Structure 1
Amino acid sequence: MVTASAVRSTLRPAMDNATRDALSRHRERLAGLDPYRWTAVEEWREAVRPFLVHVLHRHVERFDELTKRPAFVVGPRIQTSRGNNFAQAAATDELVNRARAAEAKAKLLSFLDSLLALPPAPPAHGQGVVINNYAETQMGDKYTTNISHSNVGAAAIGAGAVATGSVAAAAPPTQEQHRKAVAEAQGALVRDQDALDALDTRMFEALNQFLRLARDIQVEQKSLADVQAKMKETLDEVWAEQAAKGMKPQLLPKTLEVVGAIASNPVMIEVTKKLIGG
């Protein structure tokens, strides 16, 4: 049995579409930079590194090597009574250093191309999210649950996820339970901010806005289906608003901590489906 936290700490052997799209955008930004002023590459590196740490952490060491400032040369400056070589030395330095910067950039682009060539994540078992009570979210292929005194039973989200279970009553959590779950999701969201910014800088604000609204939605004295539909409606409204401001809606990697936190709240089942597909 693999828990959501265990999955988040394990490297995926393949790349999902959201990760590939984000990496491709970072590559395009690098391709447009002039590497001679290496500070531009260093600024690019600071934006990209958290993304790699989160989704492709085995490749971070090589990334750090390739983004180190090249060994730029500074030739000797000679001053004599007849004059100096300052202009000629500066021109020679620039010629050599531009070549070194271009070579370093080419190696970095080649490295990113190798990452983009990773195989796509297969739609196989192990890609789903199974929720079988308020506190436990499992990511894997097939689980059987026989839970008594549960308001949720079992719910399977994603390709290859299958769950069976029993319920005592189809009712949402208490308001206190719901607000606690939202608070936990907000904490996870903050920890995931760098990874979300790497996907789209508006993604963090969109999820933050949704969670603020979701916290105040009344869940008690309503059917679970009605509350789930209200949560989905609220997310759709936030997504449309942020899309109008330039956000590109996309599926989130299932390894994000905030995805697991949202999925653990039974009123968020439809929201989870929209966020990760399913």
Structure 2
Amino acid sequence: MFVILLILSIADYYDLKFGIIPNKLSLILFIYGILFNLILSIYFNNALIFIFSIALTALITLISFILWHIGFWGGGDFKLFIGLSLALSFLDLNLINLNYFSNLNLGIFNQLIFYPKVISILLNGILIALILIFFSIIYDVIRNNKIKYFSKLSILNFSLAFSQITAKTVSIESLSEGMVLNQYYFKNQIAYDRINDLKNKKDSNINLKAYKEGDFYCFSSLNSMGLTKEDIKLINGLYKMDLIKNPNFKIKAEIPFMPFITLGYIGFLIFGDFIAIISTFIKLLF
């Protein structure tokens, strides 16, 4: 458990300071998981332990890939989470009636949950992130007088308020690879057709989506991979040809997610599954 926490802490440092998670850390955690489960299989003379760890990790990889594809997190988070899943798969051996570790002093074994323990860590991290982000937004609203984005404090417009407040504006000269572009509105159909024509070409590396919204056209990044070199070249070309007018672009501010995974992991070790705790508390109230 300490080795995992150490690796996660190093990943937090890189994520917070540089905005990346080195592939070497993910590889180290993955190799650790492979060796650990192999040793467990040999120690207990049960190959099912190793087979189960691979099968469970394959399932988590699929879930993680979907989350990456929809822009929930970056590639570094995705890869490290796979390693984390493999390293902690032994905690779910009870799912196949292998109760070697049920006597560990972890609160999670006293809670009734129906998903892998690594998903519990992820959900813990998401809950912590939502709480901190919510209070950060409230603080930013009060400090910078952005109350107009909170004309209605409701779940329905939380996403809009979040995107407005966390977005930053950069000039066309400052665009760089990996930046995730928010909606950019323009009126020229030639620019709209140009983006779609290049995007639909064979072997195109255009990562922009262009669409019509009311009387305006709009383009934005297609996914969390952000701008490519070809995107930046295309945008600069459209601007130089006067097909788009505004030289400023709204970029989605990146929020490092790995520290929340680490906090979710620590909370998991101490308290267990936060959703199970909240559910128990609600049952006691009602």
TM-score by length of 1: 0.30
Higher CA-based Rg: 1
Structure with a larger share of its residues in helix: 2
Greater relative contact order structure (CA < 8 Å, 6+ sep): 2
